[in-house]
């Protein structure tokens, strides 16, 4: 468990796991409200089932150092990251974690988000495009439509992104905010990216709410293959 100072009076907690010689590093942003409520012993108060959270060790097994990021200390109650993901404060927290990961690992640092975590990843990378940002980003199950007062990723200034961008989506994602048909419009807006890729996934199984972690939205049943493909793409870039 790592706690670092990010803003005056604010700390950012994350769970850090790494192989002996990482090829790259990833900072994982969960979806939903994003408040993992990590205790000092690494126990999750919420979000254990989230695609990225439950796959954290698989990223490590594929050669990547991992930070599973919680909400910051001033967002440790409802609404957690809701209404905060696009803020300058969230970007400042992200910048501090990126710097820590770079210093710790000495390898490229990427941001990886899933569902509402893609709003965090895109917003942080855009805010830090002029310096201190990630070496690349991965958007999985991207928020492409939003009726909750937030901003879909497609509504952000994606042309500001100069780093590589990988978009990963399940072809049968039935979450109303994440129609696979919207991925083509997302890719068209990545005009400044140094490289971009679209990975459409199939297979697995879907259980429960189509916007939750064990539906196709959360790559249920194909997590290992998806994480391996993401890791290979990151290392290649």
CA dihedral angle for residue 19, residue 24, residue 27, residue 32, rounded to 10 degrees: -90
User: What is the tens place of the pLDDT at every residue in 3-55?
Assistant: 999 999 999 999 999 999 999 999 999 999 999 999 999 999 999 999 999 99
Distance between CA 29 and CA 67 in Å, rounded?
A: 9
> Quick check: 78 pLDDT over 70?
yes
pLDDT band at 147 (very low <50, low <70, confident <90, very high): low
Helix residue ranges per DSSP H, 55-211 = 56-61, 88-105, 117-127, 183-188
Q: What percent of the chain has pLDDT over 70?
A: 98
User: 148 pLDDT exceeds 80?
Assistant: no
Q: How far is CA 22 from CA 152, 232, 236, in A?
A: 32, 13, 14
Q: Which residue has the tokens 């990223």?
A: 59
Are the CB atoms for 119 and 91 separated by under 8 Å? no
State which residues form the domain around 169.
2-236
> Is pLDDT at 57 greater than 90 in this prediction?
yes
Q: What is the pLDDT of residues 193-207, one digit of tens each?
A: 999 999 999 999 999
Here the CATH number for the domain that contains residue 100 is: 3.40.50.1820
Specify the pLDDT at position 149: 61
Please indicate whether residue 108 or residue 147 has the higher confidence score (pLDDT): 108
> What local confidence, expressed as pLDDT, does residue 33 receive?
96
Q: Contact, 164 vs 194, CB < 8 A? A: yes
- Tell me what pLDDT residue 146 has: 81
Confidence of residue 151 (pLDDT cuts 50, 70, 90): confident
Nearest to 193, CA basis, from 153, 169, 166, 168: 166
**Residue 90 pLDDT class (50, 70, 90 cuts):** very high
The three-class DSSP label of residue 151 is coil
Q: Is residue 142 pLDDT above 90, yes or no?
A: yes
Domain count, the chain: 1
């Amino acid at each position: 468990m790592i706690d670092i100072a990010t803003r005056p009076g604010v700390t950012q907690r994350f769970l850090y796991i790494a192989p002996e010689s990482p090829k790259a590093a990833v900072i994982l942003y969960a979806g939903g409200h994003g408040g993992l409520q990590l205790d000092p012993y690494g126990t999750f108060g919420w979000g254990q089932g989230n695609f990225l959270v439950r796959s954290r060790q698989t990223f490590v097994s594929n050669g990547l150092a991992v930070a599973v990021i919680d909400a910051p200390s001033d967002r440790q109650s409802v609404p957690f990251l809701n209404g905060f993901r696009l803020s300058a404060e969230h970007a400042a927290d992200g910048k501090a974690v990126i710097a820590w990961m770079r210093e710790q690992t000495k390898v490229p640092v990427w941001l990886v988000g899933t569902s509402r975590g893609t709003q965090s990843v895109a917003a942080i990378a855009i805010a830090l495009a002029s310096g201190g940002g990630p070496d690349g980003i991965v958007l999985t199950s991207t928020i492409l439509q939003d009726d909750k007062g937030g901003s879909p990723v497609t509504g952000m200034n994606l042309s500001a992104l100069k780093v590589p961008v990988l978009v990963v989506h399940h072809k049968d994602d039935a979450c109303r905010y994440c129609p696979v048909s919207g991925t083509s419009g997302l890719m068209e807006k990545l005009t400044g990216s140094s490289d971009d890729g679209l990975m459409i996934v199939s297979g697995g199984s879907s259980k429960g709410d189509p916007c939750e972690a064990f539906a196709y939205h959360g790559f249920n049943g194909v997590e290992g293959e998806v994480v391996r493909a993401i890791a290979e793409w990151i290392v290649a870039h």
